[in-house]
Amino acid sequence: MPLIDHTPAPPVFYSFPESTTLCNVLTKFIAQTARETIEKKGKFTLAISGGSLPKNLSLLIERKDIEWDRWHVFYVDERVVPFDHAESNHALCQTELWSKVPIPAANIHTINEELLTAEPVDLEELADEYQSQLIEHFVSKDAARFPVFDLILLGMGPDGHTASLFPGSAQLDVDETCWVAYIEESPKPPPKRITLTLPVINHAARVAFVATGEGKQESLAITLDQPEKRYPGSRVRPARPGVVYWFVDDAASALVKYPRSDHSDPQSDKPELKL
């Protein structure tokens, strides 16, 4: 019996002349991924970051072919603030996306809001409770040994962080039993956060990074061209058959030497991205 090759595939890197085209192709990529996954499994499970990412997904609102009731959404990371706080990733996504589409509220899996009312908030309990939600969704229902997201959407900061995994942080090196980690003193405010860990991210079927603007030039170049520096993004390498994609604009990729992949006509309803 031949051995199965789990060596991570090289990243697929798309660079677009402007963010409008990027968002158009990204939207079609997500819609196509969701449609094909639902056809096979009956549901589509997504993990999403905050920051500028939700605004880049606004074209999803206009799609008439999305079965929102088949979507299940988790957050890659969350700031430990009330849900009505401006820094809450859930609040941001709710404002930009979920309030504008017919996704059932029960299909949006947030950190436990009641635990946020404690003073002080028990970060370990908060992370453990979110991990229990992952266990319930993936292990209890799918008989899986590990969470396998159909798609994880990530951003990247100018400092190279992704999710709430910052360069040099201890949370980058947790073992596979830790699916959700907590951060007490984030280098970027707000200081307290929870985040999915690399073992979870690297079990996804697909991971897509989105990065735009000149402010990302240096961190993007280091991530893709100098993996030996072990920036968080360079350590996102899903085992085969998983694939990591980069959707960036030319402003962000100006310093990157890593080879670009061809992307199809953004007007096509089924862009020939390598799914």
The pLDDT tens digits for 163-187 are 999 999 999 999 999 999 999 999 9
Average pLDDT of every residue of the chain: 92
What pLDDT does residue 146 have? 84
The listed CATH number (3.40.50.1360, 3.30.565.10, 3.20.20.70, 3.40.50.300) that belongs to domain 14-249: 3.40.50.1360
Ranges of the chain whose pLDDT falls below 70: 1-6, 140-144, 264-275
**In the chain, domain spans:** 14-249
CA distance 136 to 141: 7
- Between the alpha carbon of residue 19 and those of residues 110, 155, 159, 160, the distances in Å are 29, 14, 21, 20
What pLDDT does residue 240 have? 81
Sort 23 into a burial class: Cβ within 10 Å, 0-12 / 13-18 / 19+.
Answer: buried
What pLDDT does residue 263 have? 78
- Between the alpha carbon of residue 139 and those of residues 133, 134, 135, 136, 143, the distances in Å are 10, 8, 5, 6, 5
What pLDDT does residue 137 have? 93
In the DSSP assignment, the letter for residue 57 is T
Sort 242 into a burial class: Cβ within 10 Å, 0-12 / 13-18 / 19+.
Answer: buried
